[in-house]
Amino acid sequence: MRTRGWRLTAAALLLACGGAAAESGTDVSCKVDSDYDFSLSERSVIFTRSSGVPRQLVMRQGRLFVDDRWVMLNADDRRRLAEYEREARAVVPLAREIGLEATEIAFLALGEVATGFSNDPEATRRKLETARKRLDARLAQSFSANRYSDDALGEAIGAAVRDVLPTVMGDIVGGAVRAAFGGDTARLQRMEHLDTELEALIEPRAEALGRNAEALCMRMHRLDEIDDALDYRLPDGRSLDLLRVEVERKHRDGA
């Protein structure tokens, strides 16, 4: 089963929801699945897929277009679809924000490690800044206010990592080896406390990211509820089944 389009939210949620649990003592997981690619235009919410029936669905101000025609809806479904459109438009910028913030945190952590242990911290920092600028440029080309794809995000991040990681890791390993053989006790001691330093640096942002991810999860769940509540049926009697969301909360031991 294809899970493109909406998969961006699943990826963001799986990445960030653990941070959302830090204050509540609850671990949250949210699995999102869909057969459709998803996009927005100024007036419409659009679902498409390369195979299957229907191939295209368009929501517009409480109306529904299925493949080749506008379909008849009752008043309750028109209200539901209008709410669906509002929620869908709120999901896209939130998902985009989560993806970008997760990327920012990753670069922040990598930068702390690299500049702390590189033989030439300034040169390593410049490499990271260059990689980040390339990533920002790719993201700017890939995303707009109305369209977002985790495939594009993954490709952009992957390209940035491929550009910089081998060199940065060489700097880190080289610095660690030099510290070990050169008796650089200050650097070696910092290596021992790196986890604590990174946690203090990243935790506040990770918690905020987690809260946004949990909010996104709840919005996706609401979209699924609206979808399930529609009275409209396809000509063969099937429901639209645009989206499937599973939310699970587990209380951690000692919470």
Local confidence pLDDT in tens for the 255 residues of the chain: 333 344 444 444 444 444 444 444 556 667 888 899 888 888 999 999 989 999 999 999 999 999 999 999 999 999 999 999 999 998 888 877 887 787 788 777 777 776 666 677 777 778 778 877 877 777 666 565 555 555 666 666 666 666 666 666 666 566 666 656 666 666 556 556 666 766 777 888 888 888 888 888 889 999 999 999 999 999 999 999 999 988 877 665 554
For residue range 22-58, list pLDDT tens digits in order: 444 556 667 888 899 888 888 999 999 989 999 999 9
* Dist CA 250 CA 255 (whole Å): 10
* Closest-CA residue to 62 (of 211, 230, 176, 239): 230
Percent helix, strand, coil in the chain, to 5, is 60, 15, 25
pLDDT at 17: 41
Domain count for the chain, please give it.
1
Pair 36, 6: CB distance under 8 Å: yes
Instruction: Note whether residue 130 is domain-resident.
Output: yes
Range of the domain at 80: 7-251
* Dist CA 218 CA 215 (whole Å): 5
- CA 128 from centre of chain: 22
Instruction: Note whether residue 20 is domain-resident.
Output: yes
Instruction: Note whether residue 2 is domain-resident.
Output: no
Instruction: Note whether residue 1 is domain-resident.
Output: no
pLDDT at 26: 58
The string of DSSP codes covering 84-95 is HHHHHHHHHHHH
Count the Cβ atoms, other than its own, within 10 Å of residue 37. 17
pLDDT at 58: 96
pLDDT at 252: 57
